[in-house]
Structure 1
Amino acid sequence: MQEDDTANPGMLWVLEGEQLWQQAAGEAGRSCQDCHGAATSMRGVAARYPAFDTGRSRPVDLAGRINICRTGHQRASPLGHEAPDMLALTAFVAHQSRGMPVVPDQDPRIEPFRENGRRIFEQRMGQLDLACSSCHQAHAGNRLGGSAITEGQVNGYPLYRMEWQSLGSLRRRLNNCMIGIRAEPFPEDAPEMVDLELYLTARGAGLPIETPAVRP
């Protein structure tokens, strides 16, 4: 299903993102296409995000980069990670890199944030006293409640999850995991989420971008 664009339900969001790419937005009345040209200019972008943003002195994920463009160039309101338009835009932009290997940002300024992501990955939390690594490292390949425990790779996001019957962001999946171990999820704009994504991306270096992936 994932490999067949006519059967992959995530392609509906990619097609919507294509329309949004060409659509003027904000007080500036500019579209993504007005600045970036054809969508092919985005090939390789998703493969290197999250990336360090000098203006913010910290890394941003792909959705964060889109919001920087929205607020700075289009003079439009920022979108949440699970907003329909953001899911469509991130799916469309990431889809341009499908098949390309994940290449984590090597800017030395990013290392403290990636290290913080590793710390979060290994930190036990919640009432069940589990860390991300408790499942996705120590027990990867085993099964839990009939479902396979994966390594927690992130090269397919945003992805269509059968359980959700919808496309969803990595943040949605991370928060689902945190709720599952009875921990308090991070807020929508928590920088820790970007740090964790940085580390997860480094773990998956070299894997091909699959957006929009399809998962159970």
Structure 2
Amino acid sequence: MTPATQRLQRDDTQNPGMLWVLEGEALWSRAAGTSAKACADCHGDATRTMRGVAVRHPRFDAALGRPVELGERIAQCRVRQGAAPPAPESAERLALQAYVAHQSRGLPIAPDDDPRLAPFRERGRQFYEQRLGALNLACTQCHDTLAGGRLGGSVIPQGHPTGYPIYRLEWQGLGSLQRRLRGCLSGVRAEPFAPGAVEWVELELFLMQRARGMLLESPAVRP
């Protein structure tokens, strides 16, 4: 990040990701679905009840028998409200996710130690180290071995998921970690998984474990 990008992220009056946070705050208190209830009716004041939630996701869902990431958890809550689940990357889902994640800004990432997550996290690690696509590259080759170098004029980051949902200047909008991962797979000429596939969550589990102790920045700003 250049000093200018860092300043943009740190100033909430200039950080464009805060537009989604403000929309999420409005949605939090707005009745939705056939229940005519708002998120606040069940969860109360998000600044208190959602503090620390984002740094512990993905978490295991006993009903589904697999882990879910924060955006999917929000979609499940919408269904319980009697509303249609917001699609991945939809404005509603990103806004609510940004608002919830923002409540944990500045907290250290603390992955859930639930033993049921272990096999999913291990598959995420294997995927991170697996060569993929026509370019035959693994995530670890860029984000570990070559981190700090340059690719196409851009600095190669370490690939830590500390700022999601994130505002990217390249996108001119907010996006989820899954959107960023799809971009990586496309970049190595590999076929991305379907939206919402468990493979994305497995990789996120590993990345959050890899970033344990780092501070959450959402909504972060990146080039």
TM-score grouping bracket, smaller chain normalisation: over 0.9
Q: Which runs of 4+ in 1 moved over 3 A?
A: none
Is the contact between residue 128 and residue 203 of structure 2 (CA under 8 Å) also seen in structure 1? yes
User: Does 2:181 correspond to 1:174?
Assistant: yes
Q: Deviations over 1:153-208 (max 9, x none)?
A: 00100010000111111111000111111111110021000000000000100011
Equivalent of residue 82 in structure 1, options 86, 89, 94 = 89
Find the counterpart in structure 1 of residue 192 from structure 2.
Answer: 185
Number of equivalent positions? 215
Give the match for residue 145 of structure 2: 138
Contact 1:186 1:193 in 2 (8 A): yes
CA distance in 1, matches of 2:123, 2:86: 25
**Which amino acid in the other structure matches residue 39 of structure 1?**
A
Secondary structure of 1:65's counterpart equals: helix
Distance 1:120 1:155 in 2: 20
1:55 is aligned to 2:95 = no
TM-score norm. by structure 1 comes to 0.98
User: Deviation at 1:45?
Assistant: 0.2
> How far did 1:50 drift?
0.5
CA distance in 2, matches of 1:80, 1:204: 27
State whether structure 2 residue 28 is matched by structure 1 residue 21: yes
Partners of 2:215 and 2:68 lie apart in 1 by 21
Q: Name the TM-score, length of structure 2 as normaliser.
A: 0.95
Q: Is the 8 A contact 2:148 2:157 kept in 1?
A: yes
1:204 matched to which residue of 2?
A: 211
Q: 1:128: Cα distance to partner?
A: 0.6
Q: What's the secondary structure of 2:67's corresponding residue? A: strand
What is the DSSP-based 3-state SS (H/G/I as helix, E as strand, rest coil) of the residue aligned with 1:137?
A: helix
- Stretches of structure 1 that go unaligned for 5 or more consecutive residues are none
State yes or no: 1:68 paired with 2:76. Answer: yes
**1:63 is matched by which residue type in structure 2?**
G
Mapped to 2, the partners of 1:189 and 1:118 lie a distance apart of 18
Note if contact 1:14-1:95 (Cα within 8 Å) is conserved in structure 2. Answer: yes
The answer on whether the counterparts of 2:88 and 2:196 sit within 8 Å (CA) in structure 1 is no
Q: CA separation in 2, counterparts of 1:75 and 1:21? A: 15
Provide the C-alpha distance between the structure 2 equivalents of 1:120 and 1:83, rounded to a whole number of angstroms: 27
> What does residue 5 of structure 2 align with?
none
Partner secondary structure for residue 167 of structure 2: strand
Tell whether 2:168 aligns with 1:165: no
CA apart distance, 1:133: 1.0
Instruction: Tell me by how many angstroms 1:80 deviates.
Output: 1.9
Q: Distance in 1 between matches of 2:184 and 2:108?
A: 26
Measured on the aligned residues, the alpha-carbon RMSD in Å equals: 0.8
Question: CA offset at residue 138 of structure 1?
Answer: 1.4
Does the 8 A contact of 2:105 with 2:215 survive in 1? yes
